[in-house]
């Protein structure tokens, strides 16, 4: 979905989106029951998954240091390939809930490749292939997966 703005090579060499520390536990990808079923069918043994009400996430452990990596990450990349959870497929873009109750499309400032792009490039990408509409449609279908706004995340769009 993001190949027009992020090359697979950029993502493969970085993988910052696949590691989590205690401060960014909120960023662990969420997925629905269908994505959960797929994950459990392709990963052997199935990873520990927590959640309920159609919102799930990988159980992360921090006993091996400060960073816990996604259990779907392998030496060759994500084992889930093109069927990874939506949060992963659209990262570093996020739909977030503002304090006003409106939703905004933001971009993570920790993605080094995306931060090299100009605001114009990011805005143009959002309009390509209905990307903005796809993000908002998913947020409409899964309101529990819309995370609260985190300061310092640049806002690219606010719903009317």
Q: What is the pTM of this model?
A: 0.88
Q: Spell out the residues 6+ positions from residue 147 whose beta carbon is closer than 8 angstroms to its own.
A: 26, 94, 96, 97
pLDDT score recorded for residue 68: 86
For the packed helices 119-127 and 131-141, what is the interaxial angle rounded to 10 degrees? Answer: 70
Banded model confidence at residue 24, pLDDT cuts 50, 70, 90: confident
Judged by average pLDDT, the poorest of 41-45, 81-85, 122-126 is 81-85
pLDDT in tens, 125-148: 998 889 999 999 999 999 988 999
pLDDT in tens, 86-117: 889 899 999 999 999 999 999 999 999 999 99
């Amino acid at each position: 979905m993001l190949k027009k703005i992020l090359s697979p090579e950029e993502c493969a060499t970085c993988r910052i989106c696949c590691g989590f520390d205690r401060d960014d536990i909120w960023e662990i990808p969420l997925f629905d029951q269908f994505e959960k079923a797929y994950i459990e069918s392709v990963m052997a043994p199935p990873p520990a998954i927590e959640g309920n009400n159609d919102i799930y996430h990988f159980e992360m452990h921090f006993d091996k240091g400060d960073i816990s990596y996604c259990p779907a990450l392998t030496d060759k990349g994500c084992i889930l390939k093109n069927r990874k959870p939506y949060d992963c497929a659209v990262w570093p873009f996020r739909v977030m809930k503002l304090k006003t109750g409106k939703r905004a499309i933001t971009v993570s400032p920790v993605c080094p490749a995306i931060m090299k792009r100009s605001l114009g490039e990011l805005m143009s990408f959002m309009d390509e292939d209905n990307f903005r509409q796809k993000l908002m449609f998913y947020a409409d279908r899964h309101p529990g997966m819309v995370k609260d706004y985190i300061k310092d995340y640049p806002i690219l769009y606010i719903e009317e």
